Amino acid sequence: MRRYWLVFSQAVTVLLAAWFVVATLKPEWLGRPASLSRGTGVSLFEAPPPLPGTTPIGSFRGAAQRASPAVVSINTSKALQGPHAQDPWFRFFFGERGAQPQSGLGSGVIISPEGYILTNNHVIAGADAIEVLLNDSRSARARVIGTDPESDLAILKIDLDRLPVITLGNSDSLQVGDQVLAIGNPFGVGQTVTSGIVSALGRNQLGINTFENFIQTDAAINPGNSGGALVDVNGQLMGINTAIYSRSGGNMGIGFAIPVSTAKMVLEAIVRDGVVRRGWIGVEPADLSPELMETFGVKARSGVLITGVLQNGPAAQAGIRPGDVIVQVNGRNIGNVSELLTSVASLKPGAPAPFKVQRRSDAVEVNVTPGERPRPQELQPR
């Protein structure tokens, strides 16, 4: 019996030794992945290759592929008119130096099969010729349908068939921390996709536009990206890239985009009416401060103080007086002058809207019929 037990134990030992040798040198025989560093004694196993047609985890490939075809490059040119450009004697002696063209570069987004393109007004302002280059290498001359300098948006149109169109998203659903992609043509190197997150929402009082409600992002935005697309992880348009904060002229991680909700409003107004008509009530507003509150005897803790009212203007006709504090416009709470300006501008001229006003210690409700905001005179190119 002892001899049988000894034979059994020796057989088990030999089998275990054989299993160890096979597991170390030929693990695939046992259905295990091969070691990448057999000589080190450390087992590093290869990950299985991705199946054909699948997207790696964490990749933005799908969003980029859906949105990129609808993002275009915009090249502009305009004749540089010198002070002596029209002087025949100057042209005789010095040639046509005063009429050398200036070129500009930007991006745009195709938003309809009819060829409408959203871009920034500053990209095409003063241009004599605008050329649009598609991602599929086609190009076309564009004509300006309309501009809105106060929001820095412009609508172009090209006449081509089979145009790729971006899907408009809901920028109001964005939250800080959401992942986004910026697509455009920075520095003219060609279409480029960068990624980042939404850093902040509702940025205003930056002095960039008259009406500001920017999406802030750390996705890399550089010169040439203006007018390009800011999209979400589904490839839907969330904003039009407009400006960067930079001390060097390059990306420093603070970029700004106009929400697609604003761009859509401007687009519809320009296509329908040729211009954007905004509300206006004729007041001089100021943010609340301890000094102003003491001067006007204001009891309100939030809202915008009215320091002046235009005689016979819409606000005066509705009964708003200097010293009143506007706390709500058409159901929207007002916290600063920028919010008041944006809320009033969104009102339809000629249609009464409710205003909530704090007058010393009394709450007053009035209906104001806004007029049409005068269009600013565009600056002439220098």
Neighbours of 61 (CB within 10 A): 11
User: pTM here?
Assistant: 0.72
Domain count within the chain:
3
**DSSP line for 136-188:** TS-EEE-EEEEEETTTTEEEEE---SS---PEE--GGG--TT-EEEEEE-GGG
The answer to whether the beta carbons of residues 133 and 76 sit under 8 Å apart is no
308 shares its domain with 364: yes
18, part of any domain? no
Neighbours of 62 (CB within 10 A): 12
Interior/surface letters 359-374, b for 16+ CB within 10 angstroms, e for the rest: beeeeeebebbbbebe
pLDDT of res. 65: 93
Token output for 354: 């409710």
Rounded to 5 degrees, φ, ψ at 360 are 55, -110
pLDDT of res. 39: 46
pLDDT of res. 14: 74
Mean pLDDT, contiguous 10-residue spans, the chain (382 residues): 71 75 68 50 51 73 94 87 57 54 86 95 92 93 93 94 94 93 92 94 80 90 92 95 77 87 90 88 89 79 89 92 92 88 89 92 90 66 31
Residue that is last in its domain, among 273, 298, 324:
273
Residue 84 designated active-site: no
The answer to whether the beta carbons of residues 230 and 263 sit under 8 Å apart is no
233 shares its domain with 217: yes
204, part of any domain? yes
261 shares its domain with 178: yes
Among 107, 226, 338, 343, the one annotated catalytic: 226
365 shares its domain with 284: yes
Residue that is last in its domain, among 273, 294, 309:
273
d(CA 69, CA 365): 50
**Residue 352 maps to which CATH number?**
2.30.42.10
Residue that is last in its domain, among 206, 241, 273:
273
Residue 152 designated active-site: yes
Token output for 111: 């938003």
175, part of any domain? yes
Neighbours of 174 (CB within 10 A): 20
232 shares its domain with 319: no
Long-range contact pairs involving 203-207 (C-beta distance under 8 Å, separation at least 24): 203/256, 204/336, 204/338, 204/339, 204/342, 205/336, 205/338, 206/243, 206/256
d(CA 4, CA 199): 76
295 shares its domain with 362: yes
33, part of any domain? no
d(CA 377, CA 146): 14
Q: What is the DSSP letter of 90?
A: H
1, part of any domain? no
Residue 122 designated active-site: yes
Rounded to 5 degrees, φ, ψ at 179 are -80, 140
151 shares its domain with 81: yes
267 shares its domain with 328: no
pLDDT of res. 272: 87
Q: Nearest Cα to 169, choosing from 234, 97, 82?
A: 234
Among 73, 122, 148, 324, the one annotated catalytic: 122
The answer to whether the beta carbons of residues 206 and 256 sit under 8 Å apart is yes
3, part of any domain? no
**Residue 145 maps to which CATH number?**
2.40.10.10
Domain extent for 338: 279-372
249 shares its domain with 312: no
Q: Nearest Cα to 122, choosing from 104, 95, 135?
A: 104
234, part of any domain? yes
77 shares its domain with 112: yes
Among 107, 148, 151, 152, the one annotated catalytic: 152
86 shares its domain with 144: yes
301, part of any domain? yes
Amino acid at 174: L
d(CA 239, CA 226): 11
269 shares its domain with 238: yes
